[in-house]
Amino acid sequence: MSNSYSSTSILSDPASTVASRQVTFETPERMGNASNFAFATGNCENVLSQAFADRCFITDSTSYVEMAEWRIPLVSLEHDEIEFIVNYRTHGTVSACNVRFTIDIDGSTFTSVLSLSSTTNGFANNDVTVTFPSGTHYYATLTMEIIVNSGAEVEMFSVMAYFKRLASPLAAGFKFQYNNTTAITPYGINRLKVNQAFTSRFAHNMIDNITELRKRFRSLLSWSGVYNTNSTLFPSFTEAAMSQIYIGSGDIGTLLAYPLLPSGFENLDFDKLQLHVKVIGDIDFTFFGQSFSINQASDTTIGWHIFDLEIDNGQLSVLGDTRLPYYDATFDNNSENSASFVDLDTPRANRYPPALTGVGKTRNTIIGLTLIGV
């Protein structure tokens, strides 16, 4: 079948393409199959995965209230269906409780509502299909809201999201990664089953496909504060009132990722490692050995900011039995971060959204962070 792929296909034998040897049809067939499989399934793992301590993500709001927000990388402009999964628990008298996820892609929004049953605890899932607006897009903003009926409360333990794989066979025609100017060409498997030499078009398409697939972003680290907790059943300072909204000094060296440094990373000439940060007001901080300064319109301005990062090969860590090179992506343990982040000496008297007056404004705070890379 044209443009099909199989996850069980045997890899092509590179020895079958050396000089003076006949190229049998299995080699281009397997290469085409691998290219189709990589486009359809590559990076279709979790773009969001965050867990929460007991009773720190809980609400009794009877109207939709914003609870968290993340940046998530897109897979491609062809991967348009995203699945959400939550692990939750209900408290009180439950008749109607919902979680609403809103995907924003450059001003175009799409929603998915998960209905939470009256069982004590469990899982809920739902998906949404998005329509990409014109232009170049490689990330989306994902907002999570919760509503409960009077007398009920919802507690979240974990939130996950992933883009669904494309089914085999791929539809005919070019496939676009993040814009409509560069394309990936699927391979019709039946047209490859001929004992003949490689054509220049086959080789160029294969090289172009590999080049475009290397640009595909994945989520390396994602975190959001819990913005609006409130509980009548668990109101104490050690429960709902203690939910973490802001990055604190205790997160230095603990909120981290160990991404693999792929071969040839230094020579890639496109965006390959980005830090997305959601901030209230102004803040200076260092992440992964690099200093950043965010200056916004006022102490109460809330906004996302994007920074391109560079990797210092001297900072690589060789981990595991395979001895592969990884880099340690985290906040640096230095005086700048210690002074900038919330700690016991500089608590925020006001919670989210930021206060307009008073010395306890929620200014100079990081409330969301996502690291994406190729």
Residue 285 inside a domain? The answer is: yes
Q: What is the mean pLDDT of residues 23-33?
A: 76
CATH number at residue 127: 2.60.120
- 346 to 36, 221, 288: CA distances (angstroms): 53, 26, 24
Alpha carbons 164 and 117: distance in angstroms, whole number: 25
Region for 106 from its dihedrals, namely left if φ exceeds 0, alpha if ψ lies in -120 to 50, beta otherwise: left
Are 27 and 209 in contact, with CB atoms under 8 Å apart? no
Does one domain contain both 29 and 142? no
Please give the pLDDT value at position 176.
Answer: 92
**236 has a pLDDT exceeding 80:** no
Residues listed for the chain: 374
Please give the pLDDT value at position 27.
Answer: 76
Top pLDDT among 267 and 144 is at 144
Does one domain contain both 231 and 255? no
**209 has a pLDDT exceeding 80:** yes
Residue 355 inside a domain? The answer is: yes
Please give the pLDDT value at position 128.
Answer: 94
Region for 373 from its dihedrals, namely left if φ exceeds 0, alpha if ψ lies in -120 to 50, beta otherwise: beta
The count of other CB atoms within 10 Å of the CB of residue 246 is: 20
Does one domain contain both 95 and 108? yes
Q: In the chain, what percentage of residues exceed pLDDT 90?
A: 43
**308 has a pLDDT exceeding 70:** yes
Does one domain contain both 92 and 237? yes
DSSP H helix total and E strand total for the chain: 3, 21
Residue that is written with structure tokens 């008073």 in the block: 358
Residue 7 inside a domain? The answer is: no
Alpha carbons 345 and 261: distance in angstroms, whole number: 38
Tell me which residue of 312, 318, 262 sits closest to 287, measured CA to CA.
312
Does one domain contain both 110 and 128? yes
Residue 238, both tokens? 């050690």
**35 has a pLDDT exceeding 80:** yes
Residue 115, both tokens? 């209905």
Residue 148 inside a domain? The answer is: yes
- 337 to 134, 273, 288, 291: CA distances (angstroms): 39, 21, 12, 10
Does one domain contain both 236 and 110? yes
**196 has a pLDDT exceeding 80:** no
Among the ranges given (140-154, 279-293, 348-362), the one the predictor scored with the smallest mean pLDDT: 348-362
Does one domain contain both 107 and 234? yes
Does one domain contain both 236 and 93? yes
**165 has a pLDDT exceeding 60:** yes
Does one domain contain both 112 and 188? no
Domain that holds residue 237: 45-164+226-241
pLDDT in tens, 316-350: 666 656 667 777 888 988 889 888 888 877 777 77
**364 has a pLDDT exceeding 90:** no
Number of domains present in the structure of the chain: 3
